[in-house]
Amino acid sequence: MKTQQNSNSKSGFSLVELMVSMAITLIIVTVLVSITSMAMDTWNRSRSELRASRQAKAMVDAMTRDLEGLVIRSGNNFEWLSAIVDLSDDVGESSNASKLIFFTAATDRYNGEIGTDDDLGGDVSCVGYGMAWKDPIGATSDEKLKTFVLNRLLVDPKETFDTLLGQADIGSKFLPSTALGDRLSEQENFVCENVFQFTVTFHVQVKVTETDNTVTPPVTNVRTVTVPVTLGEDTTKFQILGTGNVTDYVDPDPELTALIPSGRITAVGIAVSVLSNSGITQLPVKLGKDGFEAWLAKNSYQYSKLIQLPGM
């Protein structure tokens, strides 16, 4: 009798099974790549926001200390604060770059060597803040290394007394190609980078007199109004003199415009827009007005602070 020998045939994956498994694998890989990409974007944005926050905090803290020690004397024709919109080519494509110069009782004068032989006395210093489009740590002309830089120059009391106090126009002393203007742009005076916009707002308190003629006798009332004067496209300067305020700001109410020169400065608002690193790389491309606000909102972080001036 012949015994029939059955051979077990080798089995494998069919073409359909392979295609299904490849499709499942592709879906899983796609999901993983998408999650990883989203996580990297979130991480990069959080890192950029943290860096921008540190930059803005360093700038705002320094300016707060200086403005809280603001020094002004009335009854003279001298200039005590000068704020102008810098329209020079030095600030690149910034849409709002203010330059702020004023007198202050800063505590870091004489490089902190108070009470030493280098301390020449005095406590009133002049401080200047200004922006520039440059390499923050070098003097190269490579456009790839340039960014928006905000610098702070503190002039010690002795030099302040000899050259700046009692001047009718301290702003002109910090213009480009002047001694103080060149010192302001030096690397050691660096405070913050990637500051695309630096906006200053002065809160001016004025007293408006109103007469009610509907009653007999007429009643006169005095109300206090705070007028915010923001430096920008329409307002390019604000000066505090010993005789009052000088500005080219025009309020919709002509009466308020006329009262600003004699008004009291109660606070100064500081607003900065700090660009992300990716935003900086897009700057060489000219941006049209259409879509600019959307681009700025996507590539920058806004910080602001209202600094009260109770002694004014």
Task: Tell me: pLDDT of 212 over 70.
Answer: yes
Whether the per-residue pLDDT at 10 is higher than 60: the answer is no
The predicted structure's pLDDT at residue 1: 47
The whole-chain average pLDDT of the chain stands at: 82
Q: What is the pTM of this model?
A: 0.78
Percent of the chain with pLDDT over 90: 32
- More confident call, 7 vs 258: 258
Of the candidate ranges 6-15, 30-39, 105-114, 180-189, the one whose mean pLDDT is the lowest? 6-15
| R_g (Cα) of the chain, nearest Å | 30
Q: What are the boundaries of each domain within the chain? A: 46-308
Question: For a pLDDT cut of 70, what percent of the chain falls above it?
Answer: 82
pLDDT digits (tens, 9 = 90+) for 116-156: 777 777 889 999 998 888 777 666 666 667 778 889 999 99
Average pLDDT on 163-182 reads 89
* Ranges 3-12, 47-56, 236-245: which has the least confidence: 3-12
Residue 285 has pLDDT above 70, yes or no: no
pLDDT at 247 over 90: yes
